[in-house]
Amino acid sequence: MKYAIISDIHSNLEALMKAIALIGQHQVDEVVCLGDIVGYGANPNECVDLVKKHCSIVLMGNHDAAAVRPHTAQDFNPLARRAIEWTYATLTLEHRDYLQSLPYTASKDDLLFVHASPQSPEQFNYIFTQEEADHAFQFFTEKICFIGHTHIPAIFSRSVRVKELNPNNRYIINVGSVGQPRDGNPMLSFGIFDTAFWSFELIRDVYDIETASIKIAQQGLPEELGIRILYGS
């Protein structure tokens, strides 16, 4: 099986459309979305529609959860809270119901898919460091756990970061963010995993970032949200 794994779209339609086009070039069997379809960007409804159309597995992210229950965004920073309030008002009832129905995890082919962490997935804990990854390994049994949430691509194994996979080891792989990378690289990010060859490829590419940025301001969302995607910050 060949999987495309996307995450953290954040209502960035231009980035999502480019990611879907790139995925089409890789002849994948399934597309998995690890959540945070909405939040921050200008096109939540359109992004939900595309994810529903193209993804066989879709999980709930913390912004998806907050977009249907805005009172849960109390720990969000002020910019994120403003975006969530706007997103809640903009989403159709059908799309709110869809986001509400999403599961926190999925498991297939000895792979675990989750938005943030295998530890209490509904709490959306972050995995930034090797220490945090080492702790998280005890909370799943699959060979690989695919995550997003930090918007920073990374591969963790037990006590060491790696770039190439060994089928005898276990891994936590962060596929980065389609719509709002935060590793200083504004190019969209997602992963391709092939179970036959036990291979993972991180895909980075440009998209129409200027349009995505301008639309954020045009919708009355905080301008800072449009600026940050220009720099991958």
The backbone region for 4, taken as left when phi is positive above 0, alpha when psi lies in -120 to 50, beta otherwise, is beta
Instruction: Output the six-digit token pair for 1.
Output: 């099986």
Domains identified in the chain, total number: 1
- Whose tokens are 């709490």? That residue is 123
| pLDDT value at residue 105 | 98
pLDDT in tens, 105-153: 999 999 999 999 999 999 999 999 999 999 999 999 999 999 999 999 9
For the chain, the average pLDDT equals: 95
Determine the Cα–Cα distance for residues 162 and 146; give it in Å rounded to an integer. 15
Q: Identify the band that residue 158 occupies on the pLDDT scale cut at 50, 70 and 90.
A: confident
CA quadruple 220, 222, 223, 229: dihedral, nearest 10 = -120
- High-pLDDT (> 90) share of the chain, %: 92
**N residues, the chain:** 233
Segment 65-91 mean pLDDT: 92
* Alpha carbon of residue 32 to chain centroid: 10
CA distances from 83 to 72, 109, 134, 233 (A): 13, 36, 33, 17
Determine the Cα–Cα distance for residues 191 and 3; give it in Å rounded to an integer. 8
Q: Identify the band that residue 38 occupies on the pLDDT scale cut at 50, 70 and 90.
A: very high
pLDDT in tens, 9-35: 999 999 999 999 999 999 999 999 999
| pLDDT value at residue 163 | 63
Structural domain range at position 202: 2-231
Query: At a CB cut-off of 8 Å and minimum separation 6, what does 88 contact?
Result: 67, 68, 70, 96
Determine the Cα–Cα distance for residues 119 and 12; give it in Å rounded to an integer. 28
Amino acid at 71: H
CATH classification at residue 213? 3.60.21.10
Residue 75 has pLDDT above 80, yes or no: yes
| pLDDT value at residue 161 | 61
Q: Which residue has the higher pLDDT, 72 or 193?
A: 193
Instruction: Output the six-digit token pair for 31.
Output: 């597309």
Determine the Cα–Cα distance for residues 124 and 105; give it in Å rounded to an integer. 11
| pLDDT value at residue 18 | 98
| pLDDT value at residue 192 | 98
pLDDT in tens, 186-203: 999 999 999 999 999 999
